[in-house]
Structures are given as C-alpha cells and as structure tokens.
C-alpha cells in the first residue's frame, strides 16, 4: 500500500486526485489531507438545500460535490481527511466498519474511545467526530472520511442550512448530528499537523508493505486539469442531481411576496411569483436562468427592479 501526505490544501485538487487514483490505478492507497474552508456535498444531494447559500456566497466558501454518496460536511484546516483506496471483491465493496475500524484503532492508541454508530459515523461520548462515505468503481472502493480535530464549529453551523422546508426533492438529505473536536480529548497534541503525523506514523507501523508515495508531474497536471474541468464547475457542483422545487414566502418593502420555482439540472423551467407588480413581472425573465445568485441579480437588473443583496436570498 502507498501512503500519501497531501501537500495541497486545495479541496478541488484533492478531490480530483482521489478520483484519478481510484479510476486510473490498480494500486492501493492511504491518503491524509487537510483542506482550506469548503463545504463538500454528497454526489446525490441538492446543493442549495444542504448549504446556507447566503453565508457561503458572502464568505466565498466553495461548495464542491464529491463522487461518493452520503451527506454534507464542512472542511477547514482543523479537519483531517483520510482516504482508503483498495481493491475489493464483488459483493464486499461497501464495508464502512472495515475501514473505520482502522481509524478507531488509531484513536484508541491515543487514548480516545471512538465508536461506530449509525450508518457511517464515528462518535465519542455520543458526539460525532467523523463522517464517512464510499464510492465503488469496478473492483475498487474509495472510502473517505473526516476527523474533526480543531474545526471551527461556528463555521460548521453557519455554512449548513438548518431549515430545509422550502425545498422539495428526492435528493439525499443530510442527517445533522451534534459534533465535537478531538483536541478536547488530545491535549498533548499541539495542532492538526501533529495529529496527521501521529496518524501517518501509526499506519506506517501497523499496515503491511507500506511505501510513501509522491505524485509525478504528469499526475499533478492531470489532477489540476480534472479539478478545473469538473470540480470547479457550476454544472457539477450545483446543477448535478435530482430536480427540486423551491417555495418561499417573504416581505419586501412591507409587502407580502411568495415564489414557486421548479428546477431541473440547475435551470429554472417553471417560475411563479406573487407580490408587487414589478417583482411579479420578473417571473418570465427567470425561466431559463440558472438557480444561481448572480443570475437572479442580473435578471432583476435587466427588468429595472431594485432588489438588495440581502433580499435576493429570499429566492434560495
């Protein structure tokens, strides 16, 4: 097995390299990485329903879709991401306990008693410290998960949508859990980088035939290309996934408004707005637009409708 300490903190690149190693190699890997602030959603989720669109837009936090299923997670430089890419037998690919047990054993070596709970979580004292997801490609499996070490829990709360009642869709929905950081239990470990070193050293000592791996220039170039053409695109991150409807009621200039949007592949194909004559007139203009903040701002501007940066989020 090859072990990789990702030097990059770019979540677009790091997700791309996982996909390439899964699909373009027959080798097995353990990857440890740390990402800049970002929200990572599951393959079959609806991005706007999962994230606080206003907060992530105003704070320029990227929302990125991964190739595995499961729910939404927040990454920052207080979170350690681990990935196993392994060969697997037919019918035995999906096995959350197999991969998380190795992480549980590592944490136990540090004196932390973590438990596998629910479908894919690790918890300490009933509080979530790790979410996990898997993706199968032919006879290979990608298992990746998070380990909250010193993540900003305030950023986690602010980045994820609390009330999803405006959205109706068959997309996979996240299951929010109370969380905690492992640094509350590991006072002797200074920071996330020391924590990563501890985890890497543990696996180097406990896995058979382990070799440290460095990317070739061609692998780096290929991952950068995939990050640009897939993981940085609106089409993959926001438009992919099941269709959905959005219904909301709100006040603008003291007048009651309501809107009903039907969205497929990120594009509005049906739009009804009730309220002021001006805003009602924008309904036809919005049909064919992307369900995207900048598209809505441009549509209202073209109709000479004055709407504030704050009011635009009534449509998300």
C-beta of residue 6 within 8 angstroms of C-beta of residue 31: yes
Distance CA 218, CA 215 (A): 8
- Could you give the number of structural domains in the chain? 2
Residues 171 and 121 in one domain: yes
Residues 198 and 297 both lie in one domain: no
User: Six-digit token pair at 173?
Assistant: 């929905």
For position 228, which CATH number holds? 3.30.930.10
- Residue 93 pLDDT: 75
Encode the chain (316 residues) as per-residue pLDDT tens digits. Answer: 999 999 999 999 999 999 999 999 999 999 999 999 999 999 999 999 999 999 999 999 999 999 999 999 999 999 999 999 999 877 667 788 899 999 999 999 999 999 999 889 999 999 999 999 999 999 999 999 999 999 999 999 999 999 999 999 999 999 889 999 999 999 999 999 999 999 999 999 998 889 999 999 999 999 999 999 999 999 999 999 999 999 999 999 899 999 999 999 999 999 999 998 889 888 989 999 999 999 999 999 998 988 999 999 999 9
The phi, psi pair for 99, rounded to 5°, reads -85, -35
Q: What is the pLDDT of residue 113?
A: 97
Q: Which residues contact 182 (CB under 8 A, 6 or more apart)?
A: 107, 112, 124, 129, 147, 148, 149, 195
Last residue within a domain, chosen from 188, 207, 236? 236
* 89 and 120 belong to one structural domain: yes
Identify the domain boundary among 208, 236, 264. Answer: 236
- Asked if 263 contacts 291 with a C-beta cutoff of 8 angstroms, the reply is yes
φ/ψ of 11, rounded to 5, equals -65, -30
- The pLDDT assigned to 208 comes to 86
pTM of the predicted structure, to 2 decimals: 0.95
Calpha distance 104→116 (Å, rounded): 8
The residue among 122, 129, 160, 177 whose CA lies nearest residue 39 is: 160
Pair 186, 308 in one domain? no
pLDDT of 278 reads 86
Residues 222, 257, single domain; the answer is: no
Domain check: are 225 and 105 in the same one? yes
Whether residues 177 and 251 share a domain: the answer is: no
| CATH number of the CATH domain containing 252 | 3.30.390.50
- Contact between residue 179 and residue 128 where contact means Cβ atoms under 8 Å apart: yes
Range of the domain at 33: 2-236
Question: What pLDDT is stored for residue 3 in this prediction?
Answer: 96
DSSP assignment string, the chain:
-EEEE-----HHHHHHHHHHHHHH--S-EEEEE---SEEEE-TTS-HHHHB-HHHHHHTT--EEE-SS-S--EEE-TTEEEEEEEEE--TT-S--HHHHHHHHHHHHHHTT---EEETTTEEEETTEEEEEEEEEEETTEEEEEEEEESS--HHHHHHHB-S--TTEEESS-------B--GGGT-TT--SHHHHHHHHHHHHHHHSSS-EE----HHHHHHHHHHIIIIIT-HIIIII-S--EEEEEEEEETTEEEEEEEEEETTEEEEEEEESSHHHHTTHHHHTTSBS-HHHHHHHHHHTT----TTGGGGG-
């Amino acid at each position: 097995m090859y072990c990789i300490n990702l030097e990059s903190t770019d979540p677009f690149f790091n997700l791309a390299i996982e996909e390439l190693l899964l699909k373009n190699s027959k080798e097995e890997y353990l990857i440890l990485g740390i990402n800049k602030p970002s929200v990572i959603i599951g393959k079959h989720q609806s991005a706007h329903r999962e994230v606080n669109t206003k907060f992530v837009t105003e704070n320029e936090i990227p929302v990125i879709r991964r190739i595995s299923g499961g729910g939404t997670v927040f990454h920052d430089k207080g979170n350690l991401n681990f990935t196993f890419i392994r060969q697997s037998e037919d019918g035995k690919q999906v096995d959350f306990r197999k991969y998380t047990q190795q992480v549980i054993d590592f944490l136990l070596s540090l004196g932390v008693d973590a438990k596998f709970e629910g479908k894919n979580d690790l918890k300490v004292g009933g509080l979530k410290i790790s979410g996990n997801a898997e993706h199968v490609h032919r006879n290979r499996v990608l298992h990746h998960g998070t380990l909250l070490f010193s993540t900003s829990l305030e950023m986690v709360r602010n980045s994820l949508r609390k009330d999803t009642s405006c959205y109706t869709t068959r997309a996979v929905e996240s299951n929010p859990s109370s969380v905690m950081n492992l640094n509350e239990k590991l006072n002797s470990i200074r920071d996330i980088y020391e924590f990563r070193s501890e985890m890497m050293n543990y696996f180097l000592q406990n896995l058979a035939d382990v070799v440290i791996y460095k990317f070739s220039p061609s692998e780096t170039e290929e991952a950068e290309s995939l990050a640009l053409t897939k993981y940085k695109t609106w089409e993959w991150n926001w438009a992919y996934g099941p269709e959905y409807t959005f219904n909301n009621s709100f006040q603008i200039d003291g007048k009651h408004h309501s809107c009903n949007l039907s969205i497929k592949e990120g594009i509005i194909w049906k739009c009804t707005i009730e309220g002021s004559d001006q805003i009602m007139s924008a309904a036809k203009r919005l049909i064919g637009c992307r369900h995207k903040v900048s598209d809505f701002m441009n549509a209202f501007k073209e109709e000479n409708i004055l709407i504030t940066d704050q009011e635009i989020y009534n449509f998300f």
